[in-house]
Structure formats: structure tokens, C-alpha cells
Structure 1
């Protein structure tokens, strides 16, 4: 018996998987460290596991596990044990498992503590067609947040804000997440037109065209939420933000919109702090029940620089758990990658900083 680890499929494994399953295994996943663990016996493959992971995160995802015959199921289970052991050695907080509709989670996975994740609101393609499971490797009791994937390149702030509102018990997305006997995680639901209208309407209210900046997001969160849900902004930069790439009129009108957001914030009593908040303080507040909308640089996770909003909703054991509304579905990701995603403090410290100045934008939302 031999075990190999390689992101490429050999011809024997490709043939053993069958054309449809092999095509899924061969999907482009280069940014996310794909790995195939493969066991041979008597010169042929008998079990294999495909995993992937985002950079700078504390989770690995099992994309699929295959074994040739029922007699080889124990070998497949041993591969899963190896994946969990590697994750623990790497300091990960979670191992996830993605299961396509029409397939079942193996019995040995449930025996190893993999529990179902709540279905997402159906929206972008990556929210459809798969179920998700997770095994937490650290004790991190928390309420699972709702999930919705942005349907445009620019509505991450709107989606994160609406997910925060929903997690805070206020009006958020309403797309059906109900389970049925044939679809226990609701994964076959169709996208909601009303939810997409809400996503775009929220973005139009908060937009700095096309980005959403921290004060503008804070203002719209204050308008959207009931008065008993506190909203607070931290931004350690005195001038307009997220306009570094613009000049002339394109810069001026965005700066004017941000000045107007400041005036609106003052009018509604929005607290805007110009001090830099530390990651440990963010984690402390989130662990204490606050929600935090974080302006991040996507580069550590995806290898490409870009401003992006995510929602932090749980914290403990040196990690902060986020909802990331972006799914790289063209590169093998689904909602399982970006939902309930733990990030270590040191990695989050690199992410929550934008531009050459490295300023930090955070919007806190209270749950009560």
C-alpha cells in the first residue's frame, strides 16, 4: 500500500473516479492549495481524498472522498483521520466537508464529529448544489450566522451589512432556507428576486460608487437597524478613503459623498472613532456578542489585492469567525468555503488594513 499527496490526478485515479466525478476533482483550484491524498494497493488506487484551503485561514475543506469498494471504506476513513491530524498540527480551527446534492455524507464522517451547516440563502451559483458539514477542532460555542453570497462584484458591503442585520435579529435576507425531506439543507432552492433587489437597494444607499466606505456603511446600518441596536465606526484615517485610484472629478465627487456621510452620521448620533482598533480588541468585542463589519484586503486569502467587506460574528481560541460574501466559484469554491470561516488573529491583522497607509475600517453592530 502506498499513499501519495499530489494536486494532479493520475490516469488510474481519473479512470476509477469516472468521468463526471473526475471532472469535479480536476476543476481549477490553483489559488486554494488543492491536494489529493491517494492510497494504492496492488498497483491500483483504492481510496483518495481531495482537499483545498484558502490562504491565511484556519480551515481546510474536504472536497470529496472516494473509495473503490466497501472493503476500502476503512482506508478512506483513515485518509480523513490524516486530514484532521494535519489540520490540528497546522493550528486550524475547523475541517469542513462539501457534499454535492445527490451524494450522502459517509457514515464514518458523522462518527468523527462532522455536523451539518445551515443552508445558505440561495443567491450566487456557489450557494446552490452542495451541502456543507464542519468539524470544529476547538471549543467555540456560537450561534451559526446566516449566509448569502454577493451577486455582483461590488455589493460585498451591502451583503455583509444585511447579514449583520439578520444576525442581530433585524430585517435581513428572506430567501427560503427551509429544509425538506428530499433536501435537508435547503440547497436546491432557487435564488430570491426579492433578496437581490434588497442587496442592490442597500448598496445604492451606502455606495461611494462602487465601493462602500466605513462611515457610509455605518450610516446606512444606523438607518436600517432598530434604535436599540448600537452602531459604531472605527476608521483611523481623517480624509476620504477607498479613492486612491481616482483623480479629478472622479475623486472629488466621491470625497464629497463621504463628507455628506459624515454629516449624516453626526445627525443620527453615529459614533465615529479616528483611533486604530487592535485585532485583539475586535476579537474581544465579537466574543462578547458584538458583530463586526471588517474592511479587508483580499490578497492574503485570494492572492489578488482588492478592498472587500466581511462579517465577523464569533471569536475565541485565537481565531475570529467570519462570513465572506465572495465565492470564487470558477475556481472550485462553494458557500462551504466562505461560511463559518475561522481566521487567526495574526492573519486577520494583515487583512484588516487597506492601501499604502494601511488604514483600518470597522463597523460594530450590537445584537441587542
Structure 2
């Protein structure tokens, strides 16, 4: 148990699946804790931030609570998420915001299971745009809210959750173009998702060159640059040799097509400074990352980098891990510290899972010491 901050008195206790603290039950009749236990949230550091009554201090474990919130977050990120708040809801939210500030985080989110727009606005939160689609198996709330803890704003792209385990590359490109105004949000649907994936896929992965070529063919006026600091085929090592051969041939064909239609393939390592620079110029960066840090399994996956705040890059992730209580509220406008994003986007060429599938059953630990690479696609403003 720990005390958080000096201006807001609070108690922080771990959240244990299958049981609830007595003080939580004493807050009165509510059915929220029952829902808290419907999934295993342990991968996202679940904890309860509680506000003790006037007669109790943060050091008093037996003090009655007047408010409590269940709080989680993806590992290696820069936010906290309120799943629900009960009791004196404004007091619980103030305690969570104070905790986030004390940790130097970029934002607090609030899932809209029980939060009302009025309560959220009174606490300084703004509504997130409802998702156009949610990823399979990760049904989240209809509403969500965010409160940034820094000066300035980050413009919000539409959120679209990939509807298959393998279309993350196509979805990030579509969302980037919708955010840039090149594609109307109404056109961002499953037909568009699967059509772009079909043009970009290396079966079933979307490797960087093929994805860049497909984006350029779909939007000829948009400048596209592929960043790939290896000249060998990628995302193939887990396949048998004969399956690697024809996929490698397709990747070489993509490189030839990139040269034919004028898509540069930059061989240098794309730094986080360069990613921030591209975002500052109004460009979008589709970045290949491993989900090992944020979700606990080493699966290559595409995310969209579209904003920057002090110390973190803001991404949109088209996939949410519903089995861990992860929803579109986590995946949308997600701040990731520069160092964390740098680490998770250094990919192993020997990763034993090399599809962009987000099914944890496909993942395995990398074998041995491997060569590494970074893959990205930068989409500039339309000419």
C-alpha cells in the first residue's frame, strides 16, 4: 500500500482477480466490481486507487473508503486508464489524475461503462470519437474520455479496429489517410480494409515495401517512403524453406515495383528523432513493432504514429487485447515513451512469429541471437 501525492489523499492497493477489498464493498450497492473480474487484467498492472474518509489516512489499511477506481494501463506506455469509479466519483478521478501527474504521465483515460459525459467534462475530460469498428474479441464501451496532462493538443484520427488478425498494416494506412483528409471516414470500412490488405500482403503479413507500394498505388498523390535498414526479406524466418522462397520472391517483386512507380526505399535506420520530425511536418508514420512489451507476446504488428507530446509519441493501435481487459480506449490516442517505442520497433529477423497476426496463439519466443531491423512507411501530405 502506498500514499500518492500531497494534495490528494489516496490509497493504492493491488487489484486481485476473484476478490474485492472489504472497503470497496462498503461503498454501497453497485454491480461494477462484478464486471471487473470478468477478464484477467493481470498483464496491465490492475490496481485500485481509493480515497479514504476523513477519519482515515493513506497509511490506515482499515480506513473506510469514500471512493475508489479500478485503474489499468498497458506496460511501457505513458497513461493510466480508469475502468470505473464508484462512490464519490469526482474524488476518485481526482486521485487518479494526481497519481498520473506524480508519475509524469501524459494522460488519463476513462472508459465509458458507467461514466457520464457530464461527470467526465466536470473532471476535465473530453470525449473520444466513437470507434468505427472494434477489433475481434475486444468489445469495449460505447464511449471513452481522455484528459491530457500537458499543454497543447493532439489531433484525433478516427479509430478503426482491425477486423481480422492480419490486416493491421492496411488499417494503419487507411486511418492515416483519413486523418490527413485524403480518405473520408465513411469510406473506412471492412471492404476498404481487405482491399488494401490484398494489394499489400505477403501472405498474410504486410511487409514494409509491399505496404508502401500498395499505399502509393491507392493514393498516387501521396508521397510515400519506405524505411527498411536491411536488404534481406523480412518476416519470414518461422516458415519452412519452401514457403520462405516464394514469399521472398514476392518481396523482391515489391522492391522492383517500388522502383518503377517511384517509391524510395531508404536503407538507413529510422530514428525516433526522425519519426518526431515527420510527425511535426504533418506526415504519418506506419511503424512495425513487436507486441512483446505492451501485450506480452512477440508478434510483429503495425501501428500508426501521428502525434507527439513531451517524452512520448502518440500512436493508434488497430488491435486491442480483449482477454486482458484491453479496449479501443487503450489503443486510441496511446502515448508511448520514446525509449519504449524505440525498443519495441527494433525487430528481430529470426522472430519465430513473422506474420502480422495479433493472435497470441501464433507467438513464440525468438530463438537465439538475431539480426535486427526497423521497418516503417512514411506517408506525406498529398501533392
TM > 0.5: yes
Q: Map 1:71-150 onto structure 2 (within 5 A).
A: 73=88, 76-100=89-113, 103-105=115-117, 107=119, 109-124=120-135, 126=138, 129-150=141-162
1:229-284 deviation per Cα after TM superposition (whole angstroms, max 9, x unaligned): 21111100011001111232110011011011111111100011111111111112
Equivalent residues of 1:216, 1:261 under 8 A apart: yes
> Quick one: distance in 2 between partners of 1:278 and 1:55?
22
1:198 equivalenced with 2:212 (yes/no): no
Pairs aligned (count): 340
Look up the match of 1:249: 242
Deviation at 1:138, TM superposition (A): 1.4
Deviation at 1:223, TM superposition (A): 0.7
Q: Map 1:271-310 onto structure 2 (within 5 A).
A: 271-310=264-303
Gaps of 5+ in 2: 1-8, 56-62, 349-369
> Quick one: distance in 1 between partners of 2:249 and 2:347?
20
> Quick one: distance in 1 between partners of 2:200 and 2:28?
48
Which one of the candidate residues 285, 297, 315 is aligned to 2:308? 315
Look up the match of 1:152: 164
Which one of the candidate residues 2, 15, 20 is aligned to 1:7? 15
Query: TM-score scaled to structure 1, two decimals?
Result: 0.86
Deviation at 1:120, TM superposition (A): 1.4
1:64 equivalenced with 2:72 (yes/no): no
Look up the match of 1:70: none
The two structures, once aligned, show a CA RMSD in angstroms of 2.2
Gaps of 5+ in 1: 68-72, 176-193
Query: TM-score scaled to structure 2, two decimals?
Result: 0.83
> Quick one: distance in 2 between partners of 1:171 and 1:288?
19
> Quick one: distance in 2 between partners of 1:131 and 1:302?
23
Which one of the candidate residues 194, 198, 207 is aligned to 1:213? 207
Equivalent residues of 1:295, 1:309 under 8 A apart: yes
Deviation at 1:338, TM superposition (A): 0.4
1:164-195 deviation per Cα after TM superposition (whole angstroms, max 9, x unaligned): 121122236527xxxxxxxxxxxxxxxxxx82
Equivalent residues of 1:163, 1:172 under 8 A apart: no
| 3-state SS of 2:214 partner | helix
Look up the match of 2:182: 170
Deviation at 1:328, TM superposition (A): 0.9
